[in-house]
A and B are shown apart, each in its own frame.
Chain A
Amino acid sequence: MNMKNNGHLGEVPRWPDGKRIAIMLAFDLDAETMWTTHGDGSVGHITNLSRGAYGPKQGIPRILAMLDAWDIKATFFIPGIVAESYPDVVRAIAKAGHDIGYHGYLHEESSTTPYAEEDATMRKAEKIIFDICGKKLLGHRAPGGVIHDYSLRLFLEHGYIYSSNWRDCDGPFIHEIEGKRVPLVELPKDSVFDDTAYDFYTDTPPERYGLKSPREMEEVWKDEFDSLAEEGRMINFVLHPQFMGRVSRIAMLSELVGYMKAHGAWFDTNANVAQYVLKANGIK
């Protein structure tokens, strides 16, 4: 697979209603899988695992209330096992009209998974979420950012219209397979818009120190927003309810949303932005 974006940077569409920038608030609801895939997996370490539970248990109600107050639709990437553990949370997210995307079953981060196994894992997670809330998954954000040389083909076979995995540009762009454009939009992301870069503190190996304040995050994001809005681009956030769901972070995010709304932001889901980009490019 060609991992380059094939020079499609020029295809950035004008956003609807004269908006200057597309903003996707996207939440990776990893819950305990953040910790089962960290270091030795926190086996028997119930307080580490409980930090993961903070996401669905405490973070999600705050996030849903904040999104509701601003009338914003967001995207939630949910591993299958998290959906199984917290079906009420998945139903609440779906009922509020948010988009749900694929994020593994166990938050699998292996780079050597064969095609058939990956295909089966995707079907399993899709079925779990569909059975809980009746939502069909339309896009893919890989656990741990790990994708495979067959991934684009697999996304198309599963009927996905977007991927949020590339980090090589500020996007969006249309993917190609063997030189031919396919109906699959890349909505790239980066660590600069990922709360784990600021908030993932742990003294359990591999240790991560340097917890940042919400003010520092807001400053970084606001500066980046201003320049990307000027260029007419997009931002796809990577937020984890177990970190961003703390009340001080939600207060900051709500302020930031207000700022972005006042400065020409179009807020929508990954699926809706992808659909818009496909249409703007005359695809489908």
Chain B
Amino acid sequence: MQEDEHIDCDGRTTGPGIRWPDRRRIAVMLTFDFDAEFLRESRARSKGKKIGFTDLSRGQYGPHEGLWRCLEMLERTYVRGTFFVPGIVIEQYRDAVEEIAKRGHEIACHGYAHESDVNCSLEEERTRLCTCEELIASVTGKKPVGYRGPEGVIHPFTPRLLSERGYLYSSSMKDCDWAYQWPDLPLVELPNDVMMDDFTYWYFTFSDPADRSMYPVGDVISDWKAEFDGLAEEGDKIFILKLHPQMIGRGSRIAALAAFIGYMRAHGAWIATCEEVANYVRSQGEAT
């Protein structure tokens, strides 16, 4: 569409027209929600269910096996990722989280016990953030600058709360493929979608009546590639892969992901952490 035909529906879009550094065509972020068993526990809880040993053990595939493959692969492909880590995971798997930080990846906030309660109050959320920020700082030496709601759940008051606490970005919304600045807040939103979330394809459980299937990794990568190609063509978009070490961390999937990283690099991707992209977006906003 012509520039003057841009449909700016809600007045909070700062994304259209952004140009990425070094003439790159798209900003790509590899994000890992390192939830371990608490993803499964909290999801079951939100559906009035409990998990048993099999789901507990499926969740622990993340810290016990998947995470290490993720880290090795990131090392080999020279990618720095963003890890969204619930506070309780830092308590339970401190060595693993310290290793993530040591390798230069970003660690961002993701709730304490992966709480996805839609009715949570402002006070509860503030207290929880406070606890989690201290836990993250105890590993990295600094407060996190990014937040993603567990199961993507944030509340109408969350953006302002994050902003007041000095956060640079949020990555929970699903309303567009642009990075944008929240209205009247110095907070960048980095939206994502269920299509680029490994949970959609590989979350498997018998703990609730969910009828889910396993997708061949080639099919998933092919869908991501179609989406990546189109967004890169548009030139002002972001592409966030939302991955979970307990799902993407299988040998076959990590191998396919590494090859996909190579593909994206060869086709104009700027692969960076969420913090780097959010800083860039903010600097562009200030420049105009």
Contacts and interface: CB of A to CB of B under 8 A. Distances in A.
Interface of A: 43-47, 50-51, 53-54, 56-58, 60-61, 64-65, 86, 88-89, 92, 201-203, 205, 207, 209-211, 213-215, 246-248, 250-252
B142 interface: no
Nearest to A40: B118
Interface in B145-181: 149, 151-156, 172-178
Interface in B229-285: 229-231, 233-234
B226 interface: yes
B175 A53 contact: yes
Contact of B172 (A47, A205, A214): A47
Contacts of B176: 53-54, 57-58
Contacts of A251: 226, 229-230
29 contacts: A44-B155, A45-B118, A45-B153, A46-B154, A46-B156, A47-B149, A47-B152, A47-B154, A47-B173, A47-B174, A50-B174, A50-B191, A51-B194, A53-B9, A57-B175, A58-B175, A64-B1, A86-B9, A89-B9, A209-B210, A211-B194, A211-B201, A213-B222, A214-B223, A246-B195, A246-B227, A247-B227, A250-B230, A251-B226
Contacts of A213: 219, 222-223, 226
Interface of A, secondary structure class, is: helix
B76 interface: no
Interface residues of B, number: 47
B153 to A, nearest CB: 6
Contacts, number: 108
Contacts of A58: 175-178
Q: Which one of B8, B176, B178, B201 has the greatest number of beta carbons of chain A within 10 Å? A: B176
A57 B10 contact: yes
B140 interface: no
A255 B119 CA distance: 44
